[in-house]
Chains A and B, each alone.
Chain A
């Protein structure tokens, strides 16, 4: 503490620049060291639980260990295996397809709800806002368990509805419907969270802009799509990044629904499930590390590329 006050005594306001949030006022007298003291606790956790595991995953991924052999150096062999392993590739292909279909649908729903909630402010709208958001407070494990029951071909409500007409409801975890079945679970779980982020951004917009637009004769639709949506584009980019990361590392929902999927959801259904199976069922930590690391890199690059192309509109990274 005394160190800090000693620093502030040597103030030289005249030299402060105007760039960046720390640029104003007497920021220069606050030296780097004190700032780092604030950052240090986080930095330690960051090093231990992000940098170290990533580095260690890479290290482990360079070796291979069989049940009947000791550990041997494999170089990039595990990566060569992974990128020719049909099980891994089919998982990657699934999550990519899933992301491409899911994310636009999910964002469209979240955006639509947020726009409607921004436009009407009745008690019902407030109630609706909370109800749409509610699933976010429910752990994904429990959400998946519930949907597993609702999808049941014997006592799920969908089947009971079909029973009235004497039909057979589609099994939403069967091979031809599992895509939609999982999509529904994810949308239910996360749309409310994304909606709240967009809604919060919408609430932050200065309303005088709307009034000006109204005077110019803009309709509600024009107001929504010409003015509101562009103004919350950075929020959209943010949730898109979240959704992309979440989808590419898809794990909990398919893992829980596996037990009731009649074999549709395999141990290599998504890359994360595959890595988990390799590590914890087959004790193949080296290969699992290679998959984790490869997955991490793929996600990182995918998101960075995406942000690079949307850089001008959003400011999340720029």
Chain B
């Protein structure tokens, strides 16, 4: 099984698209139509978000241009400057908080996953099968079901409504450990580790100098998955935080939505800010994904191949 997997991965790397058999022209149009339809479907909401961000409140709710096209006034600049100054610039703070939680939580979860994955993959530890089965089982525990008891536990420690209440629980990523275990078992040959040890390197030195460099694609994949999970998290910070200065962007926009729904906007409607705020908040992750796709696609294949 192990060898087969390694072979598959290696061959996949050497595969070239030119070796594919081309489709006959008549059949070509159907897949393109299919893809084209899907692209339109997946892009429509994002297009709407962009178009709506350029409208002022009147254009948004009473505009004549329709939901999917630009209004007469192009208010993107005005919306942005209001977004960044509204309520003392709290939006920027939320954006900063989101980045902070995502990077610290994501990186922390990844570091733990890499270490544990390596431990499971390369050591014959006592009770390995039992604990690994337990780990896999816990992939199935719905993490949101943990939020309420975690809240009660943390409130007993007076840790709710602090950054720790958001960061600490997001360090838990059993699937990341599973992914790292699978990848490490394949990508780090035991011979390489043994050679390093023969040269007198200690266990941790071996890990950092020999194993870690081999794990880069998986590291980036797990990192991205963890960062996305933290970045998108809503339930956990919603439950844990009441100090608006600690909110991540998701909970912050939810707060605005609640206020806007009650028309409590002090004379100017919040909806425009919610929309342009959504647009801005989407940008960092999209850039991260687009710029790093080379790494994470390779890493995802590992988890899927097992």
Contacts and interface: CB of A to CB of B under 8 A. Distances in A.
A175 B12 CA distance: 49
A299 B140 contact: yes
Given A35-B124, A54-B149, A120-B31, A140 B234 contact: yes
B87 interface: no
A132 B235 CA distance: 25
A130 B293 contact: yes
Interface string B156-177: 0000000000001101101001
Given A112-B34, A157-B67, A251-B235, A49 B257 contact: no
A21 interface: yes
B148 A54 contact: no
Nearest to B15: A207
Given A124-B35, A204-B305, A285-B152, A142 B253 contact: yes
Contacts of B149: 53-54, 56-57, 60, 289, 292
Nearest to A259: B261
Contact of B300 (A132, A197, A275): A197
A56 B119 contact: no
Contacts of B121: 21-22
Contacts of B42: 131-132, 134-135, 188, 192
A256 B254 contact: yes
A35 B146 contact: no
Contacts of B153: 52-53, 56
Given A57-B149, A292-B145, A41 B115 contact: yes
Q: Is the interface of A mostly helix, strand, loop or mixed?
A: helix
B286 interface: yes
Interface string A107-147: 00100110011011100110110111111111111110111
B234 A35 contact: no
Given A248-B142, A272-B145, 16 more contacts: A5-B202, A25-B194, A26-B190, A37-B119, A57-B145, A116-B31, A131-B39, A137-B228, A139-B249, A146-B48, A192-B42, A196-B297, A204-B9, A238-B303, A292-B145, A315-B306
Interface of B: 1-2, 7-9, 11-12, 15, 17, 19-21, 23, 27-28, 31-32, 34-36, 38-39, 41-46, 48-49, 52, 60-61, 63, 66-68, 111-113, 115-116, 118-126, 128, 131, 133, 135-153, 168-169, 171-172, 174, 177, 185-186, 190-191, 193-194, 197, 200-207, 228, 231-232, 234-235, 239, 249-250, 253-254, 257-258, 261, 274-275, 278, 281-282, 285-286, 288-290, 293, 297-298, 300-301, 303-306
5 contacts: A45-B168, A128-B39, A130-B290, A214-B21, A245-B139
